[in-house]
Amino acid sequence: MDISNFLESKNKIFIDGGTGSEVERLGGKMSNAWGALANIHSPDVVLKVHEGFINAGCDIITTNTFATCRHTLQGPGVEDKTLAINQAAVKLAKQAVKNTNKENKVLIAGSMTNFFALSENEYRPDPRFLPSLSDEEKNYKEMAKILLNEGVDILLLEMLLDIDHSKILLNAALETGLPVWVGLSCCISKHDQTIIGRNYGAEKTESLIYDKTKIVENPKFLPEDKIIPLVDIIDELTSIGGDVYGIMHSWFEDSKLGLEVLKDKWSGPIMFYPEIHLFDTSTGGAIITATEDEFAENCSNLIDNRIKIIGGCCGVTDNHLKSLINKFK
């Protein structure tokens, strides 16, 4: 399917919600590689998640590959199954499209990110499984090629919040020749109220629940834990390439400022899909913080003519998306 024509054919494009958080909510296999193992241990759950979003009216579903890069799969010790796990993820997405009779109507986005295997009961990278930069690049290229060969329509880069790792991932994705959509995560800094790349130790509105008497280090997504102005990340990445840029996996108040910065720096299509959950690091569970109607209302308050692609991230269920889509219809 021609992606440009697809974008032009609709006023708004609806992408799905929190694939990984839905896998967890519905009882799929979880690990320190998030929901990666569900592709082979809980395929029925992954299939149900995809079908739910399609039946809600989504135009795009996202493969359950947020945490299926080789170095991330080293966490649960299944790096030798990198090919099989990624292939299974795409097959499940395709099966969901077929089961709902939406062939040639629903696109499949292959999710990729900088996520590393987590330390036990904490939200920070486990230092035992951190790759060298050269291995990181090699692993991204391997995964991007698998997704390409399995037939995804788009590569969706999610939760990018720095420059160094994000540039490696973006370049690897662009090598495939597929359309590349870049999702940036941001937050308002509690230090100076500026908008920065998502940083769990510096975010004004905390999104993680953890025992501060037991956790020695603050939660972090990347090992360096840098505080970087969002505008710098946008400038660096857009100079490399990408077909769509957006703000995702960010609170509504953070997304509002992030979208303002992005609109000022990027003239192409924009996507927006916020998160609505608090993540409990000790249980791996999530607390959804918005009802379906609240989610739809909060989204609509931030959506204008510049924003083309709309959806949700962690905590967003098929019912949230159904409410949002109905509001726009």
- Give the span between the Cα atoms of 154 and 198, in whole angstroms: 24
pLDDT score for 259: 99
For residues 278 and 117, give the distance between their C-alpha atoms in angstroms, rounded to a whole number: 19
* Whole-Å CA distances, 94 to 61, 89, 99, 103, 327: 10, 9, 9, 9, 28
pLDDT for position 215: 77
Determine the 3-state secondary structure of 11 from DSSP: coil
CA distances from 47 to 128, 160, 220, 319 (A): 32, 26, 30, 16
User: pLDDT at position 2, please?
Assistant: 85
Q: Is 307 helix (H, G, I), strand (E, B) or coil?
A: strand
Q: What's the rounded Cα separation, in Å, for the pair 147 and 158?
A: 15
Predicted pLDDT at 78? 99
In one-letter notation, the amino acid at residue 321 is L
pLDDT tens-digit map of 217-259 = 789 999 999 999 999 999 999 999 999 999 999 999 999 999 9
- Helix or strand (DSSP H, E) at 136: helix 133-150
> Who contacts 116 (Cβ-Cβ below 8 Å, separation ≥6)?
71, 72, 75, 125, 126, 129, 130, 222, 223
pLDDT at 93: 99
Beta bridge partners of 279: 208, 286
Give the Cα separation of 73 and 81 in Å (integer): 8
User: Tell me: the pLDDT tens digits for 5-19?
Assistant: 888 889 999 999 999
Both tokens of residue 162? 């720095």
Q: Which residues contact 252 (CB under 8 A, 6 or more apart)?
A: 274, 298, 302
Both tokens of 58, joined, read 């989504």
Bridge partners of 156, per DSSP, are: 111, 181
| Whether domain 3-328 has CATH 3.20.20.330 | yes
Residues in the chain where the model's pLDDT stays below 70: none
**For residue 129, what are its two tokens?**
């499984």
**In the chain, where the domains are located:** 3-328
3-state secondary structure of 209: strand
pLDDT score of 280: 87
